[in-house]
Amino acid sequence: MENNILKTLWGDMEVAITANGICRLQFLPYLVGDKTTKPTVFMQEITKQLNAYFCGNMQKFSLPVDLLNTTPFMKSVYLTAMQIPFGSVCSYYDLAMLAGFPNAYRAVGSAMRKNPIAILIPCHRIVAKDGSMPVSKAGLQIKKRLLELEGIAFNEQDKVLL
């Protein structure tokens, strides 16, 4: 596994890749200064696609992900979450139903809180059944910003308008 720092339009992100694809992508809660990524073609493509998304010019990624270090349950949940279209939201309950685990919405929530690949596995598109936005790893401000980017409206109580 290879760890790198990406400089994106929305801040520094840590990315880890394997021979199969991206296995970790997270916003960093701190600035890393001059530390830069290795300028491989794949790292440049990741940065290009993320920045296009952050500018509102891209809605679907074509980057491979590696979910080998997740459980079969988590993998199923993550692959299902990746099918939620740009500009849409889904509740944990609905995601559990779509993934084939109708009684496991709390476990789905737990899996999404452990999401190793931010944005590509769009945990920001998953909300509570009442529209409230549980805080993600990146924090509520990033989640709100991502939802705004995708045209999702929410009220002053931070509830998505379903």
User: How far is the C-alpha of 57 from the C-alpha of 17, rounded, in Å?
Assistant: 24
Three-state DSSP class for 115?
coil
Three-state DSSP class for 16?
strand
Provide CATH 1.10.10.10 ranges for the chain. 72-149
User: Is residue 60 scored above 70 in pLDDT?
Assistant: yes
Q: What was the pLDDT predicted at 39?
A: 74
What percent of the chain has pLDDT above 70? Answer: 92
Q: What was the pLDDT predicted at 139?
A: 78
User: Using one digit for the tens of pLDDT, what is the confidence trace for 88-145?
Assistant: 999 999 999 999 999 999 999 999 999 999 999 999 999 988 888 876 677 788 889 9
Three-state DSSP class for 137?
coil
Q: What are the percentages of helix, strand and coil residues in the chain, rounded to 5?
A: 35, 20, 45
User: How far is the C-alpha of 57 from the C-alpha of 113, rounded, in Å?
Assistant: 27
Structure tokens, 106: 């709390």
CATH for 72-149 is: 1.10.10.10
Q: 72 — phi, psi (to 5°)?
A: -60, -40
Greater confidence (36 vs 54) lies with: 54
Greater confidence (79 vs 6) lies with: 79
- Residue 123 is a catalytic residue: yes
What value does the mean pLDDT of the chain take?
Answer: 90
Antiparallel, parallel or unpaired: β 2-8 and 11-18: antiparallel
Active site residue: 23, 55, 90, 123, which one? Answer: 123
Q: What was the pLDDT predicted at 3?
A: 82
User: Is residue 76 scored above 90 in pLDDT?
Assistant: yes
Query: Which residues touch 162 (CB under 8 Å, ≥6 apart)?
Result: 89, 131
